[in-house]
């Protein structure tokens, strides 16, 4: 199933609650919340209190992308803030199995993200246990970057590995997703699409969400 997850990183932070509602009314399936600690990535965004502050402004599924060095330590804060899914990086300092278990024990879905230079083989052993795999299509840390097509073979490899296990795995792509690159990523096997600039910098976010979804559906294999 195709899902669009607008990233609030490109939204107006002074009106975050309204922006979340705008995504919901525009047909978004999830809301992507990018948490950056200035250590795992060279940028700082926002943390759990900001997420908690908009939890009652929308009923959207909260897809929380932790770009932080120690996701195991902070998972509980994000679960309490209202995360529905917590996605952490395999390149972080936390143990992958332990972090997956902790997130599940907190009652959230758990996803694992890989940076552009990390091989698909590193995440494939966790496909059975994870609810989603996020293949970064830019270097994490900033919105508005260009999509890296060289990451697409990893999406296909992960899709094949999931199919071999008989698992209808969610595979998310994040970074530089627009009306064209969404087609490329869907053709490779992705089915969950993060879009920051393409949605929130559009004059008509609802139309942008609709177009992204339709374009992905044309090429979807997931």
Which residues of this chain interact with ligand DX5, rule CB under 6 A? 7, 9-10, 32, 34, 65, 138, 140-145, 174-177, 194-198
Segment holding 183, helix H or strand E = helix 181-188
Q: Are 91 and 58 in contact (CB under 8 A)?
A: no
How many whole angstroms separate alpha carbon 140 and alpha carbon 129?
Answer: 24
Coil/strand/helix, residue 85: strand
> Nearest distance from residue 89's CB to ligand DX5, in Å?
10
CB of 165 to ligand DX5, least distance (A): 27
113 binds, among Zn ion, ligand DX5, none (CB under 5 to 8 A by kind): none
Answer for which of 24, 63, 170, 174 binds Zn ion (CB under 5 A) is 174
Q: Is 63 in the site for Zn ion (CB under 5 A)?
A: no
Binding partner of residue 208 among Zn ion, ligand DX5, none, CB cut-off 5 to 8 Å per kind: none
Q: Which of 29, 34, 37, 63 is catalytic?
A: 34
Residue least distant from Zn ion (Cβ): 65
Give, in order, the Cα–Cα distances in Å from 85 to each of 13, 14, 133: 21, 24, 12
Q: Tell me the C-alpha distance between 121 and 185, whole Å.
A: 19
Active site annotation includes 204? no
Tell me if residue 77 is catalytic.
Answer: no
Query: CB neighbours (10 Å) of residue 7?
Result: 24
Least separation in angstroms between residue 201's CB and Zn ion is: 16
Q: Residues interacting with Zn ion, by CB under 5 A?
A: 34, 65, 174
Catalytic residue numbers read 34, 174
């Amino acid at each position: 199933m195709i899902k669009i997850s607008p990233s609030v990183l490109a939204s107006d932070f002074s009106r975050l609650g309204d922006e979340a509602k705008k995504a919901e009314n525009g047909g978004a399936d999830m809301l992507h919340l990018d948490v950056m600690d200035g250590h795992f990535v060279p940028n700082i965004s926002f943390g759990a209190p900001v997420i908690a502050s908009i939890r009652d402004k929308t009923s959207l599924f909260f897809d929380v992308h932790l770009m932080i060095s120690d996701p195991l330590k902070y998972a509980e804060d994000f679960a309490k803030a209202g995360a529905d899914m917590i996605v952490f990086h395999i390149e972080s300092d936390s143990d992958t199995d332990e972090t997956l278990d902790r997130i599940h024990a907190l009652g959230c879905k758990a996803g694992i993200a890989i940076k552009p230079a990390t091989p698909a083989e590193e995440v494939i052993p966790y496909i059975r246990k994870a609810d989603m795999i996020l293949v970064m299509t830019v270097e994490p840390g900033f919105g508005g970057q260009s999509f890296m097509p060289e990451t697409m073979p990893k999406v296909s490899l992960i899709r094949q590995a999931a199919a071999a296990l008989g698992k209808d795995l969610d595979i998310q792509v994040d970074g530089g997703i627009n009306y064209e690159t969404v087609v490329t990523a869907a053709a490779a096997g992705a089915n969950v699409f993060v879009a920051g600039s393409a949605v929130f910098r559009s004059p008509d976010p609802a139309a942008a969400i609709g177009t992204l979804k339709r374009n992905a559906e044309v090429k979807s294999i997931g």
